[in-house]
Amino acid sequence: MHQLWNKIFQPTSIAPLITFRVLFGAMMFFSTLRFWLNGWIEENYINPNFHFKFYGFSWVTVPSPTLLYAIFIVTAFAALAISLGFLYRWACVTFFLLFTYIELIDATFYLNHYYFVSLVSFLLIFLPANRNRSLDVYLGLTKRKTHVFNWHIWSIMLMLSIVYFYAGIAKLNYHWLIEAQPLKIWLAAHTHLPLIGSFMDDNWLAYAFSWGGAIFDLSIPFLLLIKKTRRIAYLLVIFFHGFTSWLFPIGIFPFVMILSTTIFFSIELHERIWKIARNKDEQQITIGKSVRVIVRSFLIVFFGFQLIFPFRHLLYPNNLFWTEQGYRFSWRVMLMEKAGYAQFKVYPKNDNQYIIINNADYLTPIQEKMMATQPDFILQYAHYLSSLYKSTKNPSPKVTAFSFVSLNGKGSQRYVKEDVNLTEIENSLKPIDWLEKY
């Protein structure tokens, strides 16, 4: 361990970091454009009257449409600037802040890979990825370097490894391994595919994919690290992500992973691509003790958080899939088939007369769908409904829910307890006791 701590300050080639910077920036540029061209800025952020928030971030509000479009333009250009290595550090800071801000506007659209993008762009702020093959060097804004420290590259590798490995750990549960759910349901919907279609509703295939997926996630970081297995590992990466993106609507995530994992390739390969010859003088560079302490503290705090935070669900006595406390920000990717239906009664006058809410009046289809399965959303929405119907006579009208959830093909079960007045329940991190037991 001590040796490893010293090794992180040994110089290595900058080339892998250049590859990563160029690819990551380009992907983010195109995915921001894609988001815009799909009309999602309007659909996801401008059209809804109500936005769901992450715990502790209810202060994040949606800006005016003009400002929002401006933010997307700046985000796209910041991504492009990262890729080109132009005003790199400012570009990283700008991209990280704006991208994260957009994600915080509405928790409906939370995706693990958006979280991954936020984390990586945050890391990039501290990595000197613009020190070669960049506009900054070309314009003389910074000095060209052929070396960086190991930790500069290893931190990206570690981040990627955490995503895979934790996604693998998350799969080690009864549903996934023993029942082959949710894949049994998801694969059976694809019997129309050419060639493999006829196998798609076979049980053995669901088990093979479930176990194969878990083993892939758990082992791929190591297979990519070891030189001997790297080539086959990368082919597996392409196959795995290519196949899942063909079967499921998972957007750009597969491409982010396929391109990001190129950082595991050998230094020589990256150097050949960028035609970077290492300058021998730079191998002697050392670093002051105080800087070492700062870097080490930073790495301990950042990665310590990454390693511990996904396990916070262990603090809750409830079923993780049912209550979802500790579900997000934990690399639980494509892990369950959960669908819900929730209809709300608001009692504006007294506890007998109610109005049944038509969710489409207040939520977009995707918001409604996400709300129906996530307790913190149900609560936020119930509070919102209560506030819409409040009066001086009745400042906090009662709200109850008729709500059902189906988890991994088990059929619909009542979700929110029938008579609970949701207006009286505060959103908190305490274990949820207002849901029926799974």
Partner 1 sequence: MMNLIHKTRVSNFKLLNSSLFCLVTLNLLLLSSCKKDKKNDDITKAEFNKSILLENIANNVIIPRYDSLKFIVSNFNQQIQALSQPVSANDLIEAQISFKSAYQTWQLCSSFDFGPAESIALKGSINTYPCDTLVIKSNITSGSYNLGAASNLVAIGFPAVDYLLFHNNVNLLVDYFNDNAIGANRLQYLKDVVANANQQVELVANQWNSSYKTTFLAANGTDVGSSIGLMVNALNMDYEKYIRDGKVGIPLGVRSLGIPIPGKAEAIYSQHSLVLLKTSVTGLQNYINGNGSESGIGFDDYLDHLEAKHGSELLSNKINTQFSSVITKIDALQASIDVEVLNNQSKVQELYDEMQKLVVLLKLDLTSALSILITYQDNDGD
Which residues contact partner 1 (rule: CB under 8 A)?
Answer: 38, 40, 43-44, 109, 111-113, 185-186, 188-193, 201, 248-253, 333-334, 337, 339-341, 343, 348-349, 353-356, 358, 360, 364-366, 369, 402, 404-406, 409-412
User: What separation in angstroms does the CA of 416 have from each of 79, 375, 379, 424?
Assistant: 42, 8, 10, 14
* CA 121 from centroid of its chain's CA atoms: 13
Min CB(429)–partner 1 separation in Å: 24
**Cβ distance to partner 1 smaller for residue 185 or 218:** 185
**Cβ distance to partner 1 smaller for residue 45 or 149:** 45
**Cβ distance to partner 1 smaller for residue 140 or 249:** 249
16 preceded by a cis bond (ω within 30 of 0): no
Min CB(312)–partner 1 separation in Å: 20
**Cβ distance to partner 1 smaller for residue 42 or 268:** 42
Q: What span, in angstroms and rounded, lies between the C-alpha atoms of 105 and 364?
A: 15
Q: What span, in angstroms and rounded, lies between the C-alpha atoms of 260 and 252?
A: 12
**Cβ distance to partner 1 smaller for residue 43 or 433:** 43
Tell which residue, 406, 409, 410, 334, has the closest CA to residue 171: 334
**Cβ distance to partner 1 smaller for residue 353 or 428:** 353
Min CB(286)–partner 1 separation in Å: 42
**Cβ distance to partner 1 smaller for residue 150 or 245:** 245
Give the chain's largest Cα–Cα span. 82
Min CB(188)–partner 1 separation in Å: 5
**Cβ distance to partner 1 smaller for residue 302 or 389:** 389
**Phi-psi region at 120: left, alpha or beta (left = phi > 0; alpha = psi -120 to 50):** alpha
* CA 269 from centroid of its chain's CA atoms: 29
Min CB(201)–partner 1 separation in Å: 7
Min CB(388)–partner 1 separation in Å: 14
Structure tokens at 18: 């250049």
**Cβ distance to partner 1 smaller for residue 46 or 111:** 111
Min CB(163)–partner 1 separation in Å: 11
Min CB(341)–partner 1 separation in Å: 5
**Cβ distance to partner 1 smaller for residue 177 or 250:** 250
Min CB(182)–partner 1 separation in Å: 9
Min CB(239)–partner 1 separation in Å: 18
**Cβ distance to partner 1 smaller for residue 112 or 121:** 112
Min CB(246)–partner 1 separation in Å: 11
